[in-house]
């Protein structure tokens, strides 16, 4: 008996060394058939197909015995399509079928199309032992699957030869092909690095996550090691609103997991949280020094003035005053300091001279007026006066400058005055000519 056990141990060591060196090293190491559903052609002696995948070989009751008909099979449902690279059949004690097949299919039952992935004839199984008691001495077939038909949801053992009618299956192990998983990639898109916000201010955290050979199953946002969106999101868009309540410096990252369990972490973004905003009193600030008292901010955030909880105006960090709007109105120039989205009423408005000269030069002796025929042609062609912006130009520029408009209007008034004076001179000349002509006619009439 001792010699027999030594032979068994030697056989197991040899089998282990072969396993480590052969092509099966590309297989996974997890038996994917454990506790999977089994369908059988028949059952005998109180056994069921569950004994094929229960992970136990301690007695015949944890095995599967058929009625030994002309077609005996046990089919395992792997739950989804798998690519199989190794199958181990453990026979109860010394009872192994003399020949059998391992088959795969994408359908279940006798009506399915089954493909052979391993065929064993004149079976000469190896000897194994798992715990040393009487029932755990067993023989087994360790099969390296090389068939190209080794992908499917269902796998079965088929025994059609009855040369040994006492065989039974103690366990059937199935191993799938493993592939190298490429990890996902993830990057924070919001907020920007070194952003500063007051405490109790909601901050939108956003990330992009992709996986080159699978799918993203979850994304979590972290402050250091603390998960901010618990539980993590399981579908895009990958966003979470975080409201920090305590001032300080925070390191925010996003972690993405793919369908194979690989995890990637984004670069960290620093968020500076300052003391929360407080309402300003209208009766003064007793904490302010007379030398340094001011109303305003020391960070890059705007001042917002509200009434009835509605924003009325704001002062931006650049010092621009925006009334009735949160941005410059229209196509305002970049150097605009005040913009009003509404009407302004005033008793007076004084505008200093702009860059161009005030148009008194129109009355200089060398100023040339456009001849009236040319002026008529210009108006007919362009539908506006020379030197006056057209409606299209005003729309494109986002409005007109009041100072420039006043200069243009004054220039046109002064030009109109010169045209009137020219017309006056022409009229006086005509009146004088008419008077002379009338005198001549009267003299002729007297003769």
pLDDT at 269: 97
pLDDT band at 142, cuts 50/70/90? very high
What average pLDDT does range 202-210 have in this prediction?
Answer: 96
Predicted confidence (pLDDT) per residue in 374-432, tens digit: 999 999 999 989 989 988 888 887 777 777 888 888 888 988 998 898 889 889 999 99
pLDDT band at 130, cuts 50/70/90? low
What average pLDDT does range 279-302 have in this prediction?
Answer: 61
pLDDT band at 178, cuts 50/70/90? confident
pLDDT at 10: 39
pLDDT at 275: 83
Residue 16 has pLDDT above 70, yes or no: no
What average pLDDT does range 184-196 have in this prediction?
Answer: 96
Question: What CA–CA distance (Å, rounded) separates 311 from 326?
Answer: 9
Residue 102 has pLDDT above 60, yes or no: yes
Domains defined along the chain, listed by start: 2-176 (2.60.120.260), 185-274 (2.60.40.10), 303-340 (no CATH), 359-432 (no CATH)
Q: Give SS3 for 123.
A: coil
Between 12-16, 191-195, 272-276, the lowest mean confidence (pLDDT) is in 12-16
**Alpha helix stretches (DSSP H) within 342-401:** 372-382, 391-396
Question: What CA–CA distance (Å, rounded) separates 85 from 259?
Answer: 21
pLDDT at 186: 97
Between 239-243, 248-252, 339-343, the lowest mean confidence (pLDDT) is in 339-343
Question: What CA–CA distance (Å, rounded) separates 258 from 388?
Answer: 65
Give φ, ψ of 312 to 5 degrees.
-105, -45
pLDDT at 42: 93
- Nearest CA-CA partner of 154 in 109, 184, 123, 99: 109
pLDDT at 58: 73
Pairing label, strands 321-323, 338-340: parallel
* pTM above threshold 0.85: no
Can you name the residues that pair with 129 across neighbouring β-strands? 137
- CB of 86 within 8 A of CB of 15? no
């Amino acid at each position: 008996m001792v010699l027999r056990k030594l032979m068994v141990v030697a056989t197991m060591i040899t089998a282990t060394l072969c396993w480590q060196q052969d092509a099966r090293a590309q297989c996974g190491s997890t038996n994917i058939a454990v506790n999977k559903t089994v369908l059988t052609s028949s059952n005998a002696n109180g056994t069921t197909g569950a004994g094929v995948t229960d992970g136990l070989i301690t007695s015949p009751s944890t095995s599967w015995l058929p009625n030994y008909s002309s077609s005996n099979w046990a089919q395992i449902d792997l739950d989804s399509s798998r690519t199989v690279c190794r199958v181990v059949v453990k026979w109860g004690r010394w009872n192994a079928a003399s020949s059998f097949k391992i088959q795969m299919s994408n359908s279940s039952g006798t009506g399915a199309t089954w493909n052979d992935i391993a065929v064993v004839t004149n079976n000469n199984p190896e000897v194994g032992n798992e715990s040393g008691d009487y029932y755990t001495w067993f023989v087994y077939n360790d099969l390296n699957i090389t068939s190209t038909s080794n992908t499917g949801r269902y796998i079965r053992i088929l025994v059609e030869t009855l040369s040994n009618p006492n065989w039974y299956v103690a366990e059937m192990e199935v191993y799938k092909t493993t592939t190298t998983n490429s990890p996902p990639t993830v990057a924070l898109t919001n907020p920007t690095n070194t952003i500063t916000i007051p405490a109790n201010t909601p901050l939108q955290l956003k990330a992009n996550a992709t996986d080159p050979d699978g799918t993203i199953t979850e994304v979590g946002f972290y402050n250091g090691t603390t998960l901010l969106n618990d539980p993590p999101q399981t579908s895009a868009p990958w966003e979470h609103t975080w409201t920090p309540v305590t001032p300080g410096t925070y390191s925010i990252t996003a972690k993405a997991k793919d369908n194979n369990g690989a995890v990637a972490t984004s670069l960290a973004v620093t968020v500076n949280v300052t003391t929360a905003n407080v309402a300003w009193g209208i009766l003064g600030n007793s904490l302010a020094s007379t030398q340094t008292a001011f109303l305003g901010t020391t960070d890059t955030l705007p001042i917002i003035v509200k009434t009835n909880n509605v924003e009325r105006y704001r002062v931006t960090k650049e010092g621009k005053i925006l009334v009735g709007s949160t941005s410059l109105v229209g196509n305002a120039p970049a150097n605009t300091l005040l913009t009003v989205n509404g009407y302004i009423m005033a008793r007076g408005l004084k505008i200093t001279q702009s860059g161009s000269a005030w148009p008194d030069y129109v009355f200089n002796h060398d100023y040339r007026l456009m001849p009236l025929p040319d002026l008529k042609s210009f108006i007919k062609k362009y539908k506006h006066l020379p030197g006056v912006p057209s409606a299209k130009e005003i729309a494109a520029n986002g409005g007109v400058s009041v100072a420039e408009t006043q200069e243009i209007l004054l220039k046109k008034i002064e030009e109109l005055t010169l045209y009137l004076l020219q017309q006056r001179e022409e009229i006086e000349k005509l009146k004088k000519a008419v008077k002379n002509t009338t005198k001549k006619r009267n003299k002729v009439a007297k003769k």
